[in-house]
Chain A
Amino acid sequence: MFPSLDVSTSALVAPRVRMNAISSNLANMSTTHNEVGEPEPYQPRYVVFQTDTTVGAHGAAGVEVSSVQIDRDAQPRYKYEPGHPDRIREGPYKDHVAYPGINMMTEFTDAMEAARAYEANLGAIEIAKDLAQQTLRILA
């Protein structure tokens, strides 16, 4: 009945999932152990979107989360901390600690983008609702 609402809703869900990943990346900026307790810097997560043609009509398409990618090749940030229990014992990075390669600026920019996308789609929903209500005014 209101395909534009479905499209906009799909675009509300996707930025929210993305925002979850960004929050996770920011929260784990200094995490040096993985989920089972082994010393391994946290690997940042990135959400991949894809078009979803099952929602919407007349050529419009929604968006869906295709996958959450774990960036295993992220270059860690090496910090000189000779007293840290997780420090590297030998090699060129001796006495350094490998921290997750997460750039706070990038994450914040992504977060802002996700928030703006959410707002924009809320705006689109409001407009769609307004259009439907204007249609009702023909009757009243």
Chain B
Amino acid sequence: MEAGRLPGRRGNLPERRGTPLACEQRNDLKAMYQSIFQSSTIPILEQVVGFAQARHTVLAGNIANLDTPGYRVRDVSVEDFQRRLAEAIRDHHRVRSATSPGELTTLPERPLAQVAENTKTILYHDDSNVGLEHQVTEMVKNQMQHNLALSIMTAQFRLLQAAISEKS
């Protein structure tokens, strides 16, 4: 998340410091940052990491309500998120056609299974249907996805670092 916000922060740097940059210089800088960060998969990964964190909160709420009578399992639709992300990437590509060849690699070949349909939890007599095992498994999966996105992001930042410092 922190790393993912970098583009915005870096973009704001000249204004925040109040450096008297000429207008076209500032635009050049903006264009450079955009070309560095927007042509990579970092913005996509940022979305994935953000989603994983939000979903973790929801799943933690389910576990917290393990013994609450009448509580029904809540979840954020992973499939919906993936679909929207894919759409956004497609739209992005339509506007600025040429992109790096590795850009779409983070997109899964098939969307994640929808949780609501897949988990067949038992409805208990107190009208709650929270299954501890299912929730923990979903959490683990979520964590894996989060870690995957972060690893790819770290690798990309390492590449940038290598380019900036001119050493590998």
Q: Which residues of A contact B (CB under 8 A)?
A: 1-2, 5-6, 8-9, 12-13, 16-17, 52, 54-55, 64-65, 125, 129, 132-133, 136, 139-140
B residues within 8 A CB of A125?
Answer: 137, 140
B residues within 8 A CB of A16?
Answer: 133
Do most interface residues of chain B lie in helix, strand or loop, or is the interface mixed?
helix
B residues within 8 A CB of A12?
Answer: 133
Contact B118 A139 (CB under 8 A): no
A55 to B112, CA, bound (A): 13
Query: Beyond A129-B144, A139-B152, A139-B155, is A6–B137 a contact (Cβ under 8 Å)?
Result: yes
B residues within 8 A CB of A9?
Answer: 133-134, 137
Query: Beyond A1-B113, A9-B133, is A64–B147 a contact (Cβ under 8 Å)?
Result: no
Q: Looking at chain B, what size class is its interface with the partner chain?
A: 20 to 34
**B residues 109-130 with Cβ under 8 Å of A?**
112-113, 118, 120, 122
With CB as the reference atom, state the residue of chain B lying closest to A139. B151
Query: Beyond A6-B118, A65-B122, is A1–B141 a contact (Cβ under 8 Å)?
Result: yes
Cβ-defined partner of B155 (8 Å) among A2, A17, A64, A140: A140
A55 to B131, CA, bound (A): 16
Q: Which residues of B contact A (CB under 8 A)?
A: 108, 112-113, 118, 120, 122, 131, 133-134, 137, 140-141, 144-145, 147-148, 151-152, 154-155
Contact A1 B137 (CB under 8 A): no
With CB as the reference atom, state the residue of chain B lying closest to A136. B151
**How far is the CB of B129 from the nearest CB of chain A, in Å?**
12
Contact B154 A140 (CB under 8 A): yes
A129 to B140, CA, bound (A): 8
Query: Beyond A1-B145, A140-B151, A140-B155, is A54–B112 a contact (Cβ under 8 Å)?
Result: no
Cβ-defined partner of B120 (8 Å) among A5, A54, A140: A54
With CB as the reference atom, state the residue of chain A lying closest to B141. A2
Contact A132 B144 (CB under 8 A): yes
Cβ-defined partner of B140 (8 Å) among A5, A17, A55, A64: A5
Contact A17 B122 (CB under 8 A): yes
Contact A136 B148 (CB under 8 A): yes
The 7 closest A-B pairs by CB, nearest first: A12-B133, A9-B137, A139-B151, A9-B133, A136-B151, A132-B144, A1-B112
A residues within 8 A CB of B154?
Answer: 140
A residues within 8 A CB of B122?
Answer: 13, 17, 65
**How far is the CB of A19 from the nearest CB of chain B, in Å?**
12
A residues within 8 A CB of B137?
Answer: 5-6, 8-9, 125
A1 to B78, CA, bound (A): 11
